[in-house]
Chain A
């Protein structure tokens, strides 16, 4: 970044190494640019056919002036296994998912859609402060999560409840977070839908868009090094979910570029659902979606039909294999979908799109109905089973909902702890001030809704005092 210092002498010239680091020097780079072992060796001879500028080594001279025009190329194709009638297109490979697995995926998709429907209503009744549905994108989250190893590290944006569900987040876990009650593992600090679970290796969601993308690159690098230190552990990838709108953030560019230069085992999964709140993709980008950008970073890329859960699964499985091959490299998958629901409970999407457009999409194609058609075609599913599943799931969701709603809010100690590893002196002062205020104005605050009431602050201060008295 410095102008002044960039011209300083470079003494340690031997330190340059190719970007494929980590002693996998034997591997041949699959990216188009074939980087040499040492950038110092680059030199163009007067008769060279190739340019040999260090910035683009494989470029050949041309004497025709032709701009590369993106519109001239055909759009990147969308990979699918099933058509919208639930028929398998590639008869040879077919569907590599077992029947039981397919049924489990279907049940999870239905469960997610029912939970979404009920929670959306609950928010409309004022019983939740906020909610976001996954309608139309259940196949992407559930399908991809089912193709990962349970220990792969996941970073989500917010419309990936299916990833949590597929990995074992229970209805109670969802409801506790939504109600921010004593059982919420976010300790009542986050807005609804900002789930997290270390047991399932899914980092807690933050509202800031695309910030999780460079985290994924860093986490993937950590996993790569840890596997190198300890080769006995099974190799893992880091997986990142984000929308096509988030891909316009600078963090998208930063993350894919650093993931490529560091060659990290990361999967970047883009959910391209056509809208970022009200902004249609035509206002979001002018290239061929997100997938077309992958090659620019030197990243293997695929576009997939997100309404086809078998295509999603197969693509994710193969991407994971690619990401771990040859010491690791990032992979980008763009999963196409349509955001059937509103952006969130704070949004009325009919202000910017036609109701008929949404209805069309609901009728035309949907990951749940497409899988159902396939299941019915194989006599694995029928109307009775559907009715039974929907009725039972509905009851389960409502039961979890009612249990979670009754629980108290977490202790107010959680307002202060975890900012730093330990409470700071300043925080202790603030805790004391708040405690005294709550004692002096008891009628102004409803402290009974919090576990332990004001007393929790006394305990917090006493704990700190104890810790302080421990002789070091």
Chain B
């Protein structure tokens, strides 16, 4: 008995010992990412550093130089926050300024499993910020009904992987409400459905999916994916203000990892514009969400190695998307790569690549390349091999330039 207790103690001490990361460059990743940490000696993979990446605004000056921000916000202050806090601030502002705004979903009331709704129930009351029963079709249907009678519900699906029970409500009801109601004017435009999406290192089959392409095939829905705290706050506020139903997908791996200087004041970012993150003249990379960080790291390595100049574009609004900005860029560079996490076949890349082929055919000097998830599921220990990594994007740049 005594020896067994000692053994248990030893075991628990061992298990509780902090896991020290072998690689200093991958310290931004959560300690739990044991399944997919970078290989010792890897030059490309594992070099995405949120602390120094040019994708994020590390200084107040850099944040406020954004011409998309209104003048008064650009004269204001910023503070360093992560993505879930940015979402929380947007929700807080919306609840404060519009009494029609409701925030609900599974486990919302105590702050949400990703802390996005922290303190909202306490500050705005449980009649406006509340838990729903565990039923996605129920809570989305409820949101549509509330929106159809003039409220502006912001409902949360706990993970994008669990949006499918509500697929009927989103496709047949939310998307078609205004259209089928004709001149009666009924619509559910005040609706926003938030959902954490994308891989997280160890989410396996049902905590990793990126279902955005399924919703880009549905007229009537807007699909938005922010890449950073500044974007999340501005785009979510625009989504709540928009009179069209919006699916707002938040890359969950960025909730804590992506930290940047965010304006303290509220501001709105456009729901129909892509953003050029980095200008270049030889090749255009189009992506959105988490893979932008992968692309940025790959671009840094590729530009150094091949002496090329790469333009990086964040699609931001996945549907309806900004064709003009993308086509203008590819018209200039003549080469394009589309990068996303979800499977290649019928993914967002298919639409972007086909449009590029259709509109700037004569300017293309290489086939449009798609770097996306392989045609399989996200098995737990295989994530790193399935989702595009820095090496794959780096290699795609090489191949496209060498073509």
Contacts and interface: CB of A to CB of B under 8 A. Distances in A.
Instruction: Report if A and B associate in a common complex.
Output: yes
Interface of A: 1-2, 4-6, 8, 10-17, 21-23, 153, 155, 184-190, 194, 196-198, 203-204, 206, 208, 211, 213-223, 225-226, 228-229, 238, 250-251, 253-255, 257-258, 261-262, 414, 418-421, 424-426
A308 to B, nearest CB: 31
Interface in B175-191: 176, 178-187, 189
B182 A418 contact: yes
A204 B147 CA distance: 14
Contact of A251 (B119, B137, B153): B137
B290 interface: no
Contact of B109 (A6, A15, A22): A15
Output the residue of A186, A189, A214 with the most chain B CB within 10 A.
A214
A5 B184 contact: no
Interface of B: 99, 102, 106, 109-111, 113-114, 118-119, 121-122, 126-128, 130, 132-151, 153, 158-159, 162, 165, 168-169, 172-173, 176, 178-187, 189, 203, 207, 219-220, 222, 242-244, 272, 320, 323-324
Contacts of A216: 145
Contacts of B220: 419-420
Given A10-B110, A12-B122, A258 B182 contact: no
Given A1-B158, A190-B180, A426-B320, A254 B110 contact: no
22 contacts: A5-B113, A5-B158, A8-B113, A12-B111, A15-B109, A15-B121, A16-B109, A189-B179, A190-B182, A196-B180, A196-B182, A196-B186, A204-B181, A214-B169, A215-B141, A217-B141, A225-B128, A226-B149, A226-B150, A238-B145, A251-B137, A261-B132
B168 to A, nearest CB: 6
Given A206-B176, A214-B138, A185 B184 contact: yes
Output the residue of B99, B144, B183 with the most chain A CB within 10 A.
B183
B111 A153 contact: no
Contact of A255 (B110, B141, B146, B272): B141
B135 A218 contact: no
Given A21-B127, A203-B186, A254-B138, A219 B323 contact: no
Nearest to B121: A15
Contacts of A4: 203, 207
A187 B183 contact: yes
Contacts of B180: 186, 189-190, 194, 196, 204, 206
A217 B145 contact: yes
A258 B168 contact: no
Contacts of B182: 184-190, 196, 204, 414, 418
Nearest to B178: A418
Give me the 5 closest cross-chain CB pairs, A-B, nearest first: A214-B141, A218-B145, A254-B138, A215-B145, A187-B182
A225 B125 CA distance: 12
Contact of B183 (A21, A185, A218, A228): A185
B311 to A, nearest CB: 21
A158 to B, nearest CB: 13
A296 to B, nearest CB: 13
A226 B118 CA distance: 25
Contacts of B128: 225
A214 B323 CA distance: 36
Given A2-B207, A419-B179, A419-B219, A254 B137 contact: yes
B110 A211 contact: no
B184 A196 contact: yes
B347 to A, nearest CB: 18
B130 to A, nearest CB: 7
Output the residue of B126, B136, B158, B207 with the most chain A CB within 10 A.
B126
A206 B126 CA distance: 32
A22 B128 CA distance: 9
Given A1-B162, A217-B145, A218-B144, 14 more contacts: A12-B119, A15-B110, A21-B126, A22-B127, A186-B184, A204-B182, A213-B141, A214-B138, A214-B169, A215-B148, A219-B145, A254-B138, A258-B138, A418-B182
A251 B141 contact: yes
A128 B289 CA distance: 50
A413 B311 CA distance: 39
B324 A222 contact: no
A1 B132 CA distance: 12
Contacts of B140: 214
B155 to A, nearest CB: 10
A187 B324 CA distance: 32
B273 to A, nearest CB: 11
A217 B133 CA distance: 13
Contact of B127 (A219, A225, A250): A225
Contacts of A6: 113
B132 A258 contact: yes
Contacts of A414: 182
Given A206-B180, A221-B142, A258 B133 contact: yes
A421 B243 contact: yes
Contacts of B168: 208, 211, 251
A57 B23 CA distance: 53
A226 B152 CA distance: 12
Contact of A250 (B122, B137, B143, B148): B137
A1 B106 contact: yes
A185 B139 CA distance: 29
Given A21-B126, A215-B145, A425 B172 contact: no
Contacts of A238: 145, 149
B149 A223 contact: yes
A5 B111 CA distance: 12
